[in-house]
């Protein structure tokens, strides 16, 4: 039973179907309409009597709405225009719809002389303080028509059209899978049989806001009909981590369109539809083009669920939004910001005073700025802090509603002077949340938004106040957006699920984005190459070649050798010409990713030389790197190399003049160039860096349906391993044991360098604040007592271990203190003390730099061999969990490594009759920690294993000799058993590789 009106007469009707009808399209169509009328409060209207083809309006409902909700204005209209009153309204509304998009007209209404204003839609008020506004909202008339013959030129009919107060807002073409047709046939029908020319209902901006193609399983939508060029976007909820929709017991999978579900209200319900019209839909303008933005399902679903949770739980909550690249993140952030500042709690009080959108990019994202600014319906709501931190301070103190800024601006003296904000509530929206959000700038932001004037002179109270400021804050909700959350991000912002582990609050996975066509699968065409070097030393016993520093230089020398670069350049250019250049009608671009600035410059030089030598007209390369670079006695900058300013590079590269961009770090992440079709990788990539680097290729572009990757450094398995945690929902293997902070604290306290009395003395002085020069000298004097003990110790391995211990404690404490309210003053004191101690400890001696020359070394042979080729794409379920933060900064053992270590110990003991234990062999870890400085780790990241192993093994051997000087039994085995030594070295080399790759 559902309600239907014909010419203003309401009747209850039941639609019956014969057995022959049951599989036909109209049965599904009738079911949708019945749900809208029975459950969503719609009125069914008859096209033959109620629809005006020329105006594309249900004029009867339009006038009923205006007369019922605004009787005084209607009376003035009739007094002024008499019998022409309705005609004048139609004329004025028709002009308004021709001049402005439908959603704008519904929001702003129309005006007629003499100063008669009609509201065309009453939106839900932010609070219930004014019952009249709630009554008007309920007075909106939602209606639906079936088989709407919308044209005066033909008898074409659209299956379903929905209206708000007589104004069309959505059309639906419905297909029944049981007839062998699906939503793709509906899309085709819109493209081929729904020409918008001369049709008010279908005209862009003038007619219905959105057009849905629907079958029982899937839905898609378009906001602009352009015949064969019409682009439909998926409008699905996602299924098992991918595209599609989940099963709904007793209903169609697309029931979320017309039926309320436990997960939320129907898209076409009064609440959601009017919310979409009033607060989401907007017209985007740029580059001479216009696009009407109707949110995709995951966008408005995330915003609405986030607002509902905040309304129910108040400020002080954390939200992790894991939305893939291609999800429309800028719009989702903009909608969230604009709506959360108008959010009221259950007691009708405003929940947030200010929304602050922060990014860690040094230059604000222009797209994000423009999107947020473009949604502002009230002038002055959005403050973009492009200037100094003083501007940020003023915006906070003056209570700006939405602030957009970089996080670095919080770490300045201007912001350190802010206090008295703890009585306000802030929604902090983080663009690209990752581990940097636990750093000093993030802490400075929290301090600025919570700091109060000191009220106690007791040192313990002061320390606990400092510590409390690090932890969760009742007046700040963090809304963190990222496609690739790290373990720290999950722990910091995730919600604890029924399994006791943190999870994203809302998910739109990489897999779903790929399957829905919003981004490309960059692993679909992957090819690897392996380089083989043969080096000859001119002087075999030259001491310059001994030691890991020299070996690192040797590896660098080989990778920079003209012969090595030339062979790779040839592969790159010829591959680009044969496979890439023809893509996108000749507009395809490529990026070469190198391991250092010098590599980038030399690649660029050899690329252009090769292009000129072979007379490849129409092919030219650019280079991108930061700062100055001295090569062969010449000083280079990016600007001098390319011949124009750095700021011009994105625009120049987008033109037809350049096809290849060589980069070193710069533009490796955060660079959006949709014409990129190929990437040539000559750099070790691992984990998140691999995902973010290769993601430069995933942007869609007309005609772009595939990408190419040629990789000279990584294997397919390594790349698949890097992508796996982020392919579907990112999860942790288990939660981090926060008690590790006390393990670290105990190791520091029992190290022999630090005494509790000195820490307490330091804290008594330090936490008083407003330190004078004399105070700082006194503090330094206290800390130097530990430095002196450190210097006198002759055990270099223990000293290096202590250095790493301090770093681990500093990082882990900053994390733990943000996650939980510790209420432990001693840890805060130790944190402040060790920060000073780390800075004052003497640095390790750095050997003189070694320059490898052609006179010393000769590349006698270089061979580049093709490796794997094909798809490295992940499949559903190909996902792995992230490790928790264990032994923070200490590279914990994996199951395979434990097995390997057991085999080594057993082999040692069997061959030598010894009784070495696991603890004996873990002393080798100290050797690893000693030799794995930044240079060694960097060398391991950027070179093949066979190139760096020799340097590692030499350094490891020397470390073993030093480590076991006082252990005759172990030293004997290490010195005399080459096979055993090699076995141990290989084991710890693999451990070092994993550390270098951040695994």
**Domain extents for the chain?**
2-279, 295-508, 526-727, 740-840, 891-996
Q: Which two tokens stand for residue 881?
A: 């969990």
Average pLDDT, the chain: 86
Q: Which residue has the higher pLDDT, 916 or 493?
A: 493
Fold entry, domain 526-727? Rossmann fold (3.40.50)
Question: What CATH number belongs to 2-279?
Answer: 3.90.1570.50
Measured on CA atoms in the order 370, 372, 378, 384, is the torsion positive or negative?
A: negative
The size of the chain, in residues, is 999
Evaluate whether 159 touches 30 at the Cβ level (below 8 Å).
no
| pLDDT value for 509 | 95
Does pLDDT of 5 surpass 80?
no
Q: Which two tokens stand for residue 282?
A: 């907007």
The pLDDT-based confidence of 700 (bands split at 50, 70, 90) is very high
| pLDDT value for 246 | 96
Q: Which residue has the higher pLDDT, 796 or 261?
A: 261
Does pLDDT of 758 surpass 90?
yes
Least confident of 48-57, 70-79, 527-536, 912-921: 912-921
Q: Supply the DSSP string of 592-627, one letter for each residue.
A: EEESSHHHHHHHHHHHHHHHHHTT-TT--EEEE--S
CA angle 221, 226, 230 (to 5 degrees): 40
| pLDDT value for 889 | 45
Evaluate whether 58 touches 51 at the Cβ level (below 8 Å).
yes
Q: How far apart are CA 216 and CA 239, in angstroms?
A: 14
The pLDDT-based confidence of 363 (bands split at 50, 70, 90) is very low
Residue in this structure with the two tokens 């028509």, named with its chain if needed: 145
Q: Which two tokens stand for residue 133?
A: 């506004």
Average pLDDT on 173-194 reads 95
CA angle 637, 640, 641 (to 5 degrees): 85
Evaluate whether 484 touches 494 at the Cβ level (below 8 Å).
no
Percent of the chain topping pLDDT 70: 85
The pLDDT-based confidence of 382 (bands split at 50, 70, 90) is confident
Q: Supply the DSSP string of 376-403, one letter for each residue.
A: -SSTT-EEE--S-HHHHHHHHHTT-SEE
Does pLDDT of 754 surpass 70?
yes
The pLDDT-based confidence of 873 (bands split at 50, 70, 90) is very high
The pLDDT-based confidence of 626 (bands split at 50, 70, 90) is confident
Phi, psi (deg, nearest 5) at residue 3: -90, 135
Phi, psi (deg, nearest 5) at residue 480: -105, 125
Tell whether omega for the bond before 686 is within 30 degrees of 0, i.e. cis. no
Q: How far apart are CA 565 and CA 533, in angstroms?
A: 12
Q: State the burial class of residue 27 (Cβ atoms within 10 Å of its Cβ: 0-12, 13-18, 19+).
A: middle
CATH number (3.40.50.1820, 3.90.380.10, 3.90.550.10, 3.40.50.300) of 295-508 reads: 3.40.50.300
Q: Kindly report the number of other CB atoms within 10 A of residue 913's CB atom.
A: 7
Q: Report the candidate in 255, 300, 800 with the shortest Cα–Cα distance to residue 506.
A: 300
Summarised one tens digit per residue, pLDDT across range 285-318 is: 877 889 999 999 999 999 999 999 999 999 999 9
| pLDDT value for 553 | 64
Average pLDDT on 183-197 reads 96
Summarised one tens digit per residue, pLDDT across range 318-362 is: 999 999 988 999 899 999 999 999 999 878 888 999 999 987 665
Least confident of 135-144, 779-788, 811-820, 943-952: 943-952
Summarised one tens digit per residue, pLDDT across range 129-164 is: 788 999 999 999 999 999 999 998 999 999 999 999
| pLDDT value for 16 | 45
Run of H or E including 2: strand 2-6
Average pLDDT on 509-521 reads 95
Does pLDDT of 226 surpass 90?
yes
| pLDDT value for 535 | 63
Q: Which two tokens stand for residue 742?
A: 């006390």
Does pLDDT of 544 surpass 60?
no
The pLDDT-based confidence of 21 (bands split at 50, 70, 90) is very low
Percent of the chain topping pLDDT 90: 55
Q: State the burial class of residue 571 (Cβ atoms within 10 Å of its Cβ: 0-12, 13-18, 19+).
A: middle
The pLDDT-based confidence of 19 (bands split at 50, 70, 90) is very low
| pLDDT value for 495 | 93
Q: How far apart are CA 568 and CA 563, in angstroms?
A: 9
Evaluate whether 260 touches 250 at the Cβ level (below 8 Å).
no
Strands (E), 266-386: 282-286, 289-293, 318-323, 354-359, 382-384
Does pLDDT of 22 surpass 60?
no
The pLDDT-based confidence of 903 (bands split at 50, 70, 90) is confident
Q: How far apart are CA 213 and CA 843, in angstroms?
A: 66
The pLDDT-based confidence of 896 (bands split at 50, 70, 90) is low
Which residues contact residue 906 at a Cβ distance below 8 angstroms, ignoring those fewer than 6 apart?
Answer: none
The pLDDT-based confidence of 846 (bands split at 50, 70, 90) is very low
Q: Report the candidate in 120, 107, 62 with the shortest Cα–Cα distance to residue 87.
A: 62
Least confident of 691-700, 721-730, 890-899, 967-976: 890-899
The pLDDT-based confidence of 50 (bands split at 50, 70, 90) is very high
| pLDDT value for 236 | 97
Q: Supply the DSSP string of 663-715, one letter for each residue.
A: ESSTTTSS---TTEEEEEEES---HHHHHHHHGGG-B--TT----EEEESS--
Q: Which residue has the higher pLDDT, 525 or 554?
A: 525
Beta bridge partners of 3: 12
Q: Which two tokens stand for residue 570?
A: 């040839």
| pLDDT value for 102 | 97
**Does residue 123 come out as left (phi exceeding 0), alpha (psi in the -120 to 50 range) or beta?**
beta
Evaluate whether 340 touches 352 at the Cβ level (below 8 Å).
yes
| pLDDT value for 844 | 62
Does pLDDT of 550 surpass 70?
no
Let me know if the fold of 295-508 is the same as that of 526-727: yes
Summarised one tens digit per residue, pLDDT across range 98-115 is: 999 999 999 999 999 999
| pLDDT value for 467 | 82
Phi, psi (deg, nearest 5) at residue 704: -95, 110
Q: How far are the Cα atoms of 512, 540, 822, 848 from residue 544, in angstroms, in the given order?
A: 54, 10, 52, 11
């Amino acid at each position: 039973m559902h309600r239907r009106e014909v010419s203003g007469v309401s009747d209850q009707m039941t639609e019956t179907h014969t057995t022959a009808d049951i599989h036909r399209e109209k049965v599904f169509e009738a079911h949708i309409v019945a749900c809208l009328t029975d459950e969503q409060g719609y009125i069914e209207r008859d096209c033959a009597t109620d629809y005006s083809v020329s105006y594309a309006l249900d004029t009867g409902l339009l006038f009923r709405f205006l007369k019922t909700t605004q009787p005084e204005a209607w009376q003035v209209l009739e007094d002024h225009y008499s019998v022409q009153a309705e005609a004048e309204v139609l004329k004025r509304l028709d002009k308004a719809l021709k001049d402005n998009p439908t959603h704008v007209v519904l929001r702003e209404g129309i005006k007629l002389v003499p100063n008669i204003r009609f509201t065309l839609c009453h939106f839900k008020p932010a609070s219930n303080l004014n019952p009249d506004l709630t009554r008007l909202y309920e007075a909106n008339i939602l209606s639906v028509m079936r088989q709407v013959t919308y044209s005066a030129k033909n008898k074409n009919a659209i299956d379903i059209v929905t209206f708000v107060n007589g104004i069309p807002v959505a059309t639906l073409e419905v297909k029944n899978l049981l007839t062998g047709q699906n939503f793709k046939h509906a899309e085709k029908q819109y493209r081929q049989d729904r020409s918008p020319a001369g049709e008010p209902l279908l005209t862009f901006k003038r007619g219905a806001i959105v057009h849905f193609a629907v079958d029982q399983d899937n839905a898609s939508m378009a906001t602009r009909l352009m015949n064969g060029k019409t682009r439909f976007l998926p409008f699905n909820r996602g299924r098992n981590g991918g595209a599609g929709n989940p099963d709904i017991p007793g209903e169609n999978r697309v029931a979320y369109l017309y039926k309320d579900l436990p997960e939320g209200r129907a898209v076409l319900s009064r609440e959601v539809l009017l919310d979409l019209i009033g607060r989401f839909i907007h017209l985007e303008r740029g580059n001479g083009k216009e696009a009407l933005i109707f949110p995709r399902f995951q966008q408005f679903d995330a915003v609405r669920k986030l607002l509902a949770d905040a309304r129910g739980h108040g400020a002080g909550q954390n939200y992790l939004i894991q939305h893939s690249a291609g999800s429309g993140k800028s719009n989702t952030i903009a909608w969230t910001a604009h709506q959360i500042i108008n959010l009221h709690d259950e007691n009708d009080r405003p929940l947030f005073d200010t929304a602050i959108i922060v990014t860690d990019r040094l230059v604000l994202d222009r797209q994000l700025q423009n999107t947020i600014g473009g949604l502002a319906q009230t002038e002055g709501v959005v403050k973009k802090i492009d200037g100094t931190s003083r501007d940020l301070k003023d915006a906070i103190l003056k209570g700006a509603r939405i602030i957009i800024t970089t996080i670095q601006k919080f770490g300045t003296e201007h912001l350190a002077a802010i206090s008295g904000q703890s009585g306000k509530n802030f929604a902090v929206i983080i663009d690209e949340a990752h581990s940097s959000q636990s750093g000093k700038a993030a802490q400075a932001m929290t301090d600025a938004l919570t700091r109060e004037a000191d009220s106690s002179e007791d040192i313990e109270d002061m320390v606990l106040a400092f510590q409390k400021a690090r932890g969760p804050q009742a007046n700040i909700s963090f809304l963190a957006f990222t496609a690739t959350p790290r373990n720290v991000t999950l722990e910091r912002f995730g919600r604890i699920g029924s399994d006791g582990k943190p999870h994203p609050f809302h998910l739109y996975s990489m897999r779903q984005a790929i399957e829905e066509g919003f981004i490309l699968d960059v692993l679909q065409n992957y090819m690897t190459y392996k380089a083989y070097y043969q080096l000859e030393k001119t002087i075999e016993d030259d001491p310059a070649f001994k030691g890991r520093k020299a070996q690192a230089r040797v590896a660098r020398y080989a990778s920079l050798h003209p012969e090595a670069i030339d062979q790779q350049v040839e592969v790159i250019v010829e591959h680009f010409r044969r496979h890439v250049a023809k893509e996108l009608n000749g507009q395809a671009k490529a990026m070469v990713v190198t391991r250092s600035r010098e590599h980038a410059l030399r690649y660029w030089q050899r690329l252009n030389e090769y292009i000129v030598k072979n007379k490849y007209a129409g092919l030219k390369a650019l280079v991108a790197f930061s700062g100055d670079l001295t090569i062969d006695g010449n000083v280079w900058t990016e600007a001098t190399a390319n011949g124009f300013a750095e700021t011009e590079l994105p625009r120049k590269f987008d033109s037809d003049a350049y096809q290849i961009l060589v980069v070193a770090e710069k533009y490796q992440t955060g660079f959006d160039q949709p014409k990129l079709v190929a990437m040539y990788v000559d750099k070790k990539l691992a984990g998140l860096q691999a995902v973010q680097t290769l993601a430069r290729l995933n942007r869609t572009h007309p005609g772009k349906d595939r990408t190419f990757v040629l990789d000279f450094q990584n294997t397919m398995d390594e790349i698949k391993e890097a992508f796996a945690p982020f392919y579907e929902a990112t999860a942790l293997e288990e939660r981090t044991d926060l008690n590790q902070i006390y393990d670290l604290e105990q190791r520091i306290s029992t190290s022999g360098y630090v005494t509790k009395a000195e820490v307490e003395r330091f804290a008594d002085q330090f936490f008083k604040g407003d330190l004078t020069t004399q105070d700082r000298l006194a503090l330094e004097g206290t800390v130097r007592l530990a430095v002196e003990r450190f210097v006198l110790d002759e055990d270099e391995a223990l000293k290096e271990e202590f250095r790493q211990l301090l770093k681990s404690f500093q990082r882990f404490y900053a994390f733990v203190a943000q996650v939980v309210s510790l209420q432990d003053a001693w840890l805060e004191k130790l944190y402040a003390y060790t920060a000073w101690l780390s800075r004052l400890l003497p640095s390790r001696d750095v050997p003189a730099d070694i320059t490898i020359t052609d006179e010393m070394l000769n590349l006698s042979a270089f061979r580049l061999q093709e490796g794997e080729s094909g798809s490295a794409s992940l499949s559903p379920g190909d996902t792995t969990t992230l490790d928790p933060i264990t032994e923070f900064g200490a590279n914990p053992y994996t199951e395979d490594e434990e097995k390997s270590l057991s085999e080594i110990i057993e082999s040692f003991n069997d061959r030598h009759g010894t009784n070495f234990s696991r603890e004996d062999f873990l002393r080798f870890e100290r050797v690893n920690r000693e030799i794995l400085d930044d240079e060694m780790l960097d060398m391991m990241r950027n070179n093949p294993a066979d190139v760096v192993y020799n340097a590692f093994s030499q350094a490891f051997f020397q470390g073993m000799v030093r480590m076991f000087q006082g252990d005759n039994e172990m030293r004997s085995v290490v010195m005399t058993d080459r096979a055993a030594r090699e076995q141990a070295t290989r084991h710890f080399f693999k451990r070092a590789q994993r550390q270098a790759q951040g695994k």
